[in-house]
Amino acid sequence: MQESGRVARSNYDRLSRWYDRLAAGSERRAQAASLELLKVKEGDTVLEIGSGTGQALLALRRSVGSSGRAIGLDLSRGMLHQAATKLRKAPLGESAALVCGDALQLPFYSESCAAIFMSFTLELFPPQEMVTVLAECRRVLKNGGVLCAVAMDKLAIPGLPSRAYQWAHHSFPTIVDCRPIDALRVISQAGFQLRDVAEMSMWGLPIRIVLAYKS
């Protein structure tokens, strides 16, 4: 595992019990909008990379139904424990699975998933590792499979909230670990074909949702 992965796992293990109170609430609007774009169908196998405490995974599980499979992958066992607690309390829990693993080397067969979902996850990786993660996504997706990524957007001329956030990220990278990226460019350069883009904001920070498919 890369050093960045070790740091991320340690941080999220510590945060896992409080993550829903600290950050999940503010992320839910973007997650809901992105899942609406993704339109997972009943019977699909869908993978969420960086599934965290399982909030989006619950919605994905409902969408795939009893004939499909929703898989949540995360580095942090603490986050996976929180997700497992949610799934045990929900119906159709058997149509969801949790895996402790690294997005740099996805532990899944090639062309095994109809869709992959990432919410505020891609920007946690350094640039070269993002290339590897997206190559792994292409490998695991079926032909015509869909990737949906939610990320903080890197503006050409950032406003005050973005500049303040970037200062916080550079000053306290283990706490403010996400960073703005040009997700549309990164995903396009990885060989995905653009299907849709949506823009919104969170705390005044620009958010971009990119929907693309493996051609």
Three-state SS annotation for 72-97: EEECCHHHHHHHHHHHHHCCCHHHEE
Q: What is the pLDDT of residue 148?
A: 98
Q: Is residue 159 part of a domain?
A: no
13-34 mean pLDDT: 76
Q: What is the pLDDT of residue 131?
A: 97
For residue 172, pLDDT over 80 is answered with no
Q: What is the pLDDT of residue 58?
A: 93
State the CATH number of the domain containing residue 96: 3.40.50.150
pLDDT tens digits for range 196-215: 999 998 878 889 999 999 98
Q: Is residue 17 part of a domain?
A: yes
Token pair for 79: 């986050």
91-116 mean pLDDT: 91
pTM of structure: 0.86
Q: Is residue 175 part of a domain?
A: no
pLDDT tens digits for range 137-151: 999 999 999 999 999
Q: What is the pLDDT of residue 51?
A: 95
Q: Is residue 203 part of a domain?
A: yes
Q: Which residue has the higher pLDDT, 80 or 22?
A: 80
Which single residue is written with the structure tokens 């009943």?
42
Nearest to 150 by CA among 183, 114, 101: 183
What residue numbers bound the domain in which 100 lies? 3-153+180-213
Q: Is residue 160 part of a domain?
A: no
Q: Is residue 170 part of a domain?
A: no
Q: What is the pLDDT of residue 184?
A: 94
Q: What is the pLDDT of residue 161?
A: 60
Task: Please count the structural domains in the chain.
Answer: 1
Its sign, for the CA torsion 13, 133, 2, 70, is: positive
Q: What is the pLDDT of residue 10?
A: 77
Q: What is the pLDDT of residue 146?
A: 98
| Residue type present at position 58 | L
Residue 124 has φ and ψ, to the nearest 5°, of -75, -20
Band the pLDDT of 157: cuts 50, 70, 90. very low
Q: Is residue 165 part of a domain?
A: no
Q: Is residue 207 part of a domain?
A: yes
| % residues pLDDT > 70 (the chain) | 80
C-alpha distance from residue 176 to each of 125, 201, 206 (Å): 13, 17, 16
93-107 mean pLDDT: 90
